[in-house]
Amino acid sequence: MKSYRVGILGATGAVGREMMKVLAERDFPLSELRLLASARSAGKKLNFKDQELTIREAADDAFEGLDIVLGAAENDIAKRFAPAIKAAGAVFVDNSSAFRLDPDVPLVVPEINPEDVKNHHGLIANPNCTTIVSLVAINGLRKASPIESIVASSYQAVSGAGAAGPVELDQQMHALCEGGKVETKTFPYQIACNVIPQIGGAAFEGYTSEEMKLQNEGRKIMHLPEMKVSCTCVRVPVMRSHSVSLLVRTKKKITVEQARELIAAAPGCKLVDDLANKIYPMPLDTSDQDLVFVGRIRPDLIDEKGLNIWCCGDQVRKGAATNAVQIAELVTQL
Amino acid sequence: MKSYRVGILGATGAVGREMMKVLAERDFPLSELRLLASARSAGKKLNFKDQELTIREAADDAFEGLDIVLGAAENDIAKRFAPAIKAAGAVFVDNSSAFRLDPDVPLVVPEINPEDVKNHHGLIANPNCTTIVSLVAINGLRKASPIESIVASSYQAVSGAGAAGPVELDQQMHALCEGGKVETKTFPYQIACNVIPQIGGAAFEGYTSEEMKLQNEGRKIMHLPEMKVSCTCVRVPVMRSHSVSLLVRTKKKITVEQARELIAAAPGCKLVDDLANKIYPMPLDTSDQDLVFVGRIRPDLIDEKGLNIWCCGDQVRKGAATNAVQIAELVTQL
């Protein structure tokens, strides 16, 4: 079996570390794992399987010899190194939002549009976390009808803000419990015992950048250029795993029973839907695993072609690291 | 000025205690305040203004001489004592859901349908907390157009489960911070660092009782028998104040600018809407006061006659105690 030389750009962040974990768990065929980060982290060591790997500084000459680079860094870093990664001949699977809407760059959720990987020119983008969780949840419905619109309200975990997010929530909880001062740094306001209805900056008609992703990225991933999405993104004091309340309207009516069957059969999903027995997806239950849990499936009471759906998925894993490693697996099969 | 003899049925609960606070703050014209609770609490004392009041056991003969009884008890208690309150000649302003949909019982939000108080036959119902917060937020829009439908996803505080809710969240936060065992009693699952997509029992087509209230009570309060609502109710680890993400569709198009003006001018609302400066309603900011904060007003990206709106309001106050005392004030003006 062929094996690959893989780099992680931004290896010390929450997503980078999770990528290492997922590569190990899935036994990705590696002949080298190269950890790249800022000068600040260079020289530090991280464990991978039974090895100790030394972090190298990300620089233009750091990608030579690599087959695949998994990007776990911010937009500016991704843009800064994309040319060097291309020059080194590696395929860049990038988790930032820098290239997601570029028509030359496939945007892939392996359960939904794996075939798009074929069209890459050295760069494949990993979608937004809330977008991945929401689309995996409803993808099965497309076997019965195209999706026309989605109304979404999210309940996003602090992990979405990177490694500093859970640290800040934990510190604030300690401050509240111990009578200390609540300090804010990563989030603009106290997040413990609060919810903050802003993720990302102002982008379009009063929507934030995060709120526009489900429409913009969803259209591209699902090949549904007309799909319309009204989205509200809200940060909640949950450590990990995003939840989303979705109202999905389809071209043809799908019954609740049909929807349950389609979702139960869809890859990447787990149907968790038995209200009478208090069984439904919750972020605590979906953390640290790869499936998107889907439940609370009900008929829309406004439009007979609508369904209300509740889903939860681990933002760091399926929403980021696992999806990227799955894309890398598709690359190895080209 | 005339003064009134007022009773509180369920005076020891979270809403009952808040009713005392609100009666004092608003200087309600009282000649007597009679605190009624279960036998377990009878004989205990609670402070009201500069007096110490002794709690009496709620019994059929406990309402004699009262003009108004504020109900802050569960449905079964409200039903149990409604005949005795009527027999005593008092007006029963009940916060339970027992009588809300009874066609002989007005269901009143004083900012929206104060005139309905006139039709009472001794009983006036106080609506559901999430319903009050949501309807006060959007009521101003009705000056421009009737409301046709609402898609709502709630972020409901633990205070909605009564006094035991905040105690449980606090205990669970302590357990998480101190490494203790997280115990659940009031909520079916851990609520600290989690969200629970169930409030109320299974009621209709997979919706919970709580989720049906915004449609059923909303139609009655707004005199819009055709209004359709798709609602998802979710408990979040917030102490107090409910938040709701609303997509409101109207018969005629309302622009964002119009909506801002209408909401800013609507009674009971505060417009808090400046995303660029990170200004929007948050539950921490709305706790312990009576206004519903409204912001994040955006055009629906699906239907041009829709608006996305985010609102927060104190569940114990405007969502329960304050609204009931406002109804009692209307009763004194009949």
- DSSP secondary structure string, B69-120? EEE-S-HHHHHHHHHHHHHTT-EEEE-SSSSTT-TTS-B--TTT-GGGGGG-
**Which among B129, B231, B233, B311 is annotated as catalytic?**
B129
Co-location of B116 and B89 in the same domain? yes
* Phi-psi sector, B241: left (phi>0), alpha (psi -120 to 50), beta: left
* CB-CB contact of A199 with A235 (8 Å): yes
Co-location of B176 and B39 in the same domain? no
> So what's the pLDDT on residue A241?
97
Co-location of B194 and B292 in the same domain? yes
* CB-CB contact of B127 with B221 (8 Å): yes
Selected residues 124-183 of chain B with any CB under 8 Å from a CB in chain A: 149, 151, 153, 155, 169-170, 173-174, 176-178
Say whether B238 and A188 touch across the interface (CB within 8 A). Answer: no
Contacts with A236 from chain B: Cβ below 8 Å: 155, 195, 236-237
d(CA A255, CA A193): 37
* CB-CB contact of B315 with B159 (8 Å): yes
What is the average pLDDT value for chain B, to the nearest integer? 97
Whether the complex's predicted ipTM is more than 0.90 is answered with yes
Please check whether residue A301 touches B, CB under 8 A: yes
- Residue B279: beta bridge partners? B274
d(CA A291, CA B297): 34
Co-location of B75 and B193 in the same domain? no
Tell me: the pLDDT tens digits for B148-202? 999 999 999 999 999 999 999 999 999 999 999 999 999 999 999 999 999 999 9
> So what's the pLDDT on residue A1?
74
d(CA A29, CA A45): 22
Co-location of A217 and A102 in the same domain? no
Contacts with A182 from chain B: Cβ below 8 Å: none
Co-location of A281 and A136 in the same domain? yes
Give percent of chain B above pLDDT 70. 100
Co-location of B164 and B270 in the same domain? yes
What is the average pLDDT value for chain A, to the nearest integer? 97
Tell me: the pLDDT tens digits for A250-309? 999 999 999 999 999 999 999 999 999 999 999 999 999 999 999 999 999 999 999 999
Co-location of A115 and A150 in the same domain? no
Co-location of A153 and A58 in the same domain? no
Selected residues 39-78 of chain B with any CB under 8 Å from a CB in chain A: none
State which residues form the domain around A157. Answer: 131-315
Phi, psi of B321 (to 5 degrees): -65, -50
Examine the pLDDT at B249 and tell me if it is beyond 90: yes
Co-location of A170 and A50 in the same domain? no
Tell me: the pLDDT tens digits for A200-254? 999 999 999 999 999 999 999 999 999 999 999 999 999 999 999 999 999 999 9
* CB-CB contact of A281 with A310 (8 Å): yes
Q: What's this model's pTM, rounded to 2 decimal places?
A: 0.97
> So what's the pLDDT on residue A223?
97
> So what's the pLDDT on residue B71?
98
Assign residue B102 the CATH number of its domain: 3.40.50.720
Please give the tally of structural domains in chain B. 2
Q: Is B231 among the catalytic positions?
A: no
Co-location of B164 and B263 in the same domain? yes
Co-location of A84 and A188 in the same domain? no
How long a stretch of residues is chain A? Answer: 334
Please check whether residue B265 touches A, CB under 8 A: no
Interface test with B, best of A134, A194, A199 (most B CBs within 10 A): A194
